[in-house]
Amino acid sequence: MPVVLLNHWGANLDNFDPRIVEGLAADRPVYALNYRGVGASGGEAPLTVAEMAKDMIAAIRGLGLGPVDLIGFSLGGFVAQQILFNAPGLVRRAILAGTGPADGTGIERVGAVSWPLIAKGMVTFRDPKTYLFFTSSAAGKRAAKAFLTRLKERTQDRDKPVSPKVFLRQLKAIKSWGTQAPQALDTLDIPVMVANGDHDIMVPSENSIDMARRIPGAELVLCPDAGHGGIFQYHDTFLQKARTFMTA
């Protein structure tokens, strides 16, 4: 069963955690996809999650895949949810990580929360994900350093950087998702795992709890002392749970 990975705001193919990709690929094909306009992908970045979902559905079908297992992180989790509604037969099982539902708490404020920490990253010469994805505890700082080191492991054939224009267009899509009408998560009838850190400041952790409550039979995994990037901080644990979930 193929696994399709959908990534976060401002991410290209080099932002998928190698440990998670390698672990999933041990016994199944894994497809990590860029959105339109991101990295080496052509076209203009969509301004809505619905358009991103339409593109990803077309890409999955164009690759001759389906049904697939789907893992969406952050913005990718918004897109994954929309795919479940637009093409329910295309997905067998879904993992929604570091994400939230349409009209979710605080999602329209992702930009307002992020800009000061992006600026802090520039001032301190650190990747903003240090502050956006991880807690400031000793464990969080160690996890951030390890994660960012992993992202640099591959040195050849790296993807094209994400442009500021794409970054801003994606932020508009995120804000739109946070203000649109709620979706009927209680009508989803496939197995879903919801995962996050318990201290997510980008997409507040309460959204994960809310989604797990609203999706029938959903499994909730909350990583302790972890932020938005909880699945990266606890990548070994997440990988084990994800593999078990997808082979059930």
- Give the helix ranges, DSSP H, for 63-205: 75-86, 110-124, 129-132, 138-150, 164-179
Q: What is the pLDDT of residue 30?
A: 98
The CATH number of whichever domain residue 38 belongs to comes to 3.40.50.1820
Instruction: Determine how β-strand 3-6 pairs with β-strand 30-33.
Output: parallel
Its pTM stands at: 0.97
Name the domain count of the chain: 1
Measured between alpha carbons, how far is 106 from 110 in angstroms, rounded to an integer?
7
- The DSSP result for 9-72, as a single string, is TT--GGGS-HHHHHHHTTSS-EEEEPPTTSTT--SPPPSSHHHHHHHHHHHHHHTT--SEEEEE
What is d(CA 206, CA 221) in angstroms, rounded to the nearest whole number?
Answer: 12
Would you call 186 exposed, middle or buried from its count of C-beta atoms within 10 A (0-12, 13-18, 19+)? Answer: exposed
Looking at residue 159, the DSSP 8-state letter turns out to be P
- The pLDDT value recorded for residue 66 is 82
pLDDT number for residue 88: 87
Range of the domain at 20: 3-247
Regions of the chain short of the pLDDT cut 70: none
